[in-house]
Structure 1
Amino acid sequence: MEGSLVDSAAASLCATTEARRRTGRSGPRFLSCSCSSRDEPVTRAWASYSRVSRMPRAVRLVARIKGWNGNGHRWTTALEDSSVLEAREDEYGGMVVDADRLPSDMAAFARSLSASLSYWKLVGKKGVWLKLPLDRSEYIPLAVKEGFRYHHAEESYLMLTYWIPDEPCLLPANASHQVGVGGFVINDQMEVLVVQEKYSASALVGVWKLPTGFIHASEEIFTGAVREVKEETGINSEFVELIAFRHAHNVAFQKSDLFFICMLRPLPGDIKIDEVEIQAAKWMPLAEFIEQPFIQDDHMFKKIADICMQRLRERYCGLTAHSVISKFDGGTSTLYHNVAGPEPGG
């Protein structure tokens, strides 16, 4: 497609250049064609050319960004009023704009964004990812005016997307889940490490519960559980097994929620609570923890307590963490699974 459009544009430009040479007409010089006997001027009247009437800027950008050489023609341009945004191509044929190399003023950004979309449409790109940092928030209305849509926002930026093909958008949606962890820390005296939170729902006031929290970006589930226990109680611990997890929907901001319960082994040390979030922390006998009315009246927490009891009696086996490398993404990840015991009679 690109070649046919550029060839057509080249033929039109060459014919126009020759006509202008014969008639003596001239206009602002911005482009020269090497097939002419002289370096004749050509005007900006691209829209009058039948087969490139809708893509003048894109054709011009092909010449400017890549250069072009076809059928003996080569175009060069001295225009600086339009340029493609700095971007890299992703593995799906889309473009990811470099947020660190955006134009420094709104007018230049608007020109470059429009020119970039024209060029990317011409060369068959698909999705465009545009990350606007907080200090470039004034660019947001300009991007929306061009047809970009909000994708997600973080503390320091807003991500917008643009789907180019005239077909259903295949760009992945914003993250759909938040991930929480709880640490079931039990010592050799069959005592469970529990906390009372300073700020909680009325139903949880005075309840002794497991240390819980959300994992950080790029943090392992078991690492997050160990960290949350340390932050809330001051107790260091070691991961033993992933006991169970709960999946709920339409929680905070209509997101789904994954909550993982990890069994942890405590290391020597004294309790030192996080006084900002935690009212109190202590070691509580397991039986006393399970007999709390809140645990007994809540089906989920009662089931979790039962599972932990079965694990301690070695009637239940949780999932251990194993580092693996997959050819799917080439990176290291953690696979949680049971480790098979010896075969009977083995």
Structure 2
Amino acid sequence: MEPESTKTHGLALFGEQRGKRGVWIKMPIELVSLVEPAVKEGFYFHHAEPKYLMPLPENASHRVGIGAFVLNEKNEVLVVQEKSGGFRGTGVWKFPTGVVDEGEDICDAAVREVKEETGVSDRVMEILAFRQSHKSYFDKSDLFFVCMLQPLSKEIQPQEVEIEAAQWMPFEEYAAQPFIQKHDLLKKISEICAAKKEKREYAGFSPVATTTGFSQKKSYLYINSQCLNLED
């Protein structure tokens, strides 16, 4: 019987000879013994699922996150203090934030994170801005979308595990926090939010429902809809 290391080495050579940049090996859980030979031949873990492991030289390149700017009719913004992470114990009030789940739309993630952290129901109005950074979480790139939301409820019920406190705060009080003023990114975001609050001429991106390709799979196109006559 041919040694397993010879088999994986042969796969790698096959890829190189055909000018391929990568060779996928999907290993069902029943063949877990093949992981070590594959790693010895230069393969890396790409992703793992409950019943299989996928080795490949590189894995996903980006993480996607959201920040939720929720403004009520009193010009109060929904803010939280976190129990964990870099903001733990700092006393800083911040927007609800979170990570987009696999298969989840950006706007759906914003609504979900606000509901989970504060108990407040809302709907997305616009994506105001986004930031791309590199060598961030786990040395991967990071996309962070700032979403403006309209609250559909007022009562706050903070999540006990992650959130120390949550409240409606006058926007000016939020923006005046020393940490916000000294943090270049957060200061710029607060200036954008102030422009929207004061109804100055700043237009973000609105989600427009559409379909993709032959599959007609539902997706969203994010556009400056204020300049176009498009229906959702």
Partners of 1:327 and 1:342 lie apart in 2 by 23
Match of residue 297 from structure 1: 182
Instruction: Verify: 1:131 aligned to 2:16, yes or no.
Output: no
Partners of 1:250 and 1:243 lie apart in 2 by 24
Residues 123-173 of structure 1: CA deviation (Å, up to 9, x unaligned): x7956422224554322123346x461141335343124xxxxxxxxx9x4
> Structure 1 pair 285/217, CA: closer, same or farther in 2 (3 Å)?
same
Match of residue 142 from structure 1: 37
Residue 325 of structure 1 aligns with an amino acid whose one-letter code is: T
Residue 154 of structure 1 aligns with an amino acid whose one-letter code is: A
Asked if 2 retains the 8 angstrom alpha-carbon contact of 1:207 and 1:294, the reply is: yes
Asked if 2 retains the 8 angstrom alpha-carbon contact of 1:148 and 1:160, the reply is: no
Shift of 1:342: 7.2
Match of residue 98 from structure 2: 213
Residues 233-286 of structure 1: CA deviation (Å, up to 9, x unaligned): 011110100001111111121111111110000112421111100000000011
Residue 126 of structure 2 aligns with an amino acid whose one-letter code is: E
Residues 200-246 of structure 1: CA deviation (Å, up to 9, x unaligned): 32687100100001110111111111111011001111010000111
Instruction: Verify: 1:237 aligned to 2:122, yes or no.
Output: yes
User: The residue matched to 2:26 in structure 1 has which SS?
Assistant: strand
Match of residue 337 from structure 1: 223
Asked if 1 retains the 8 angstrom alpha-carbon contact of 2:83 and 2:89, the reply is: no
More strand by share: 2
Shift of 1:341: 3.7
> Structure 1 unaligned runs (5+)?
1-80, 83-106, 162-170
Partners of 2:228 and 2:47 lie apart in 1 by 50
> Structure 1 pair 227/202, CA: closer, same or farther in 2 (3 Å)?
closer
Q: What is the number of residues matched between the two proteins?
A: 224
Partners of 1:268 and 1:202 lie apart in 2 by 26
Q: 1:166-181 residue pairs with structure 2 within 5 A? A: 173-181=58-66
Asked if 2 retains the 8 angstrom alpha-carbon contact of 1:243 and 1:318, the reply is: yes
Instruction: Verify: 1:309 aligned to 2:194, yes or no.
Output: yes
Partners of 2:39 and 2:88 lie apart in 1 by 44
Partners of 1:180 and 1:342 lie apart in 2 by 28
Match of residue 325 from structure 1: 211
Match of residue 90 from structure 1: none
Q: Please, which moves more after superposition, 325-334 or 296-305?
A: 325-334
> Structure 1 pair 130/228, CA: closer, same or farther in 2 (3 Å)?
same
> Structure 1 pair 273/326, CA: closer, same or farther in 2 (3 Å)?
same
Asked if 2 retains the 8 angstrom alpha-carbon contact of 1:150 and 1:158, the reply is: no
Match of residue 259 from structure 1: 144
Match of residue 194 from structure 1: 79
Residue 130 of structure 1 aligns with an amino acid whose one-letter code is: I
Partners of 1:151 and 1:328 lie apart in 2 by 32
Instruction: Verify: 1:152 aligned to 2:46, yes or no.
Output: yes
Residues 89-146 of structure 1: CA deviation (Å, up to 9, x unaligned): xxxxxxxxxxxxxxxxxx8xx49x57x959x88xx7956422224554322123346x
The structure showing larger relative contact order (alpha-carbon pairs under 8 Å, at least 6 residues apart) is 2
> Structure 1 pair 327/191, CA: closer, same or farther in 2 (3 Å)?
same
Normalising by structure 1, we get a TM-score of 0.57
Percent identity for Structure 1 against Structure 2: 44
Partners of 1:202 and 1:327 lie apart in 2 by 43
* Superposed CA RMSD: 3.3
Residue 251 of structure 1 aligns with an amino acid whose one-letter code is: S
User: The residue matched to 1:306 in structure 2 has which SS?
Assistant: helix
> Structure 2 unaligned runs (5+)?
none
Partners of 1:139 and 1:247 lie apart in 2 by 37
Match of residue 222 from structure 1: 107
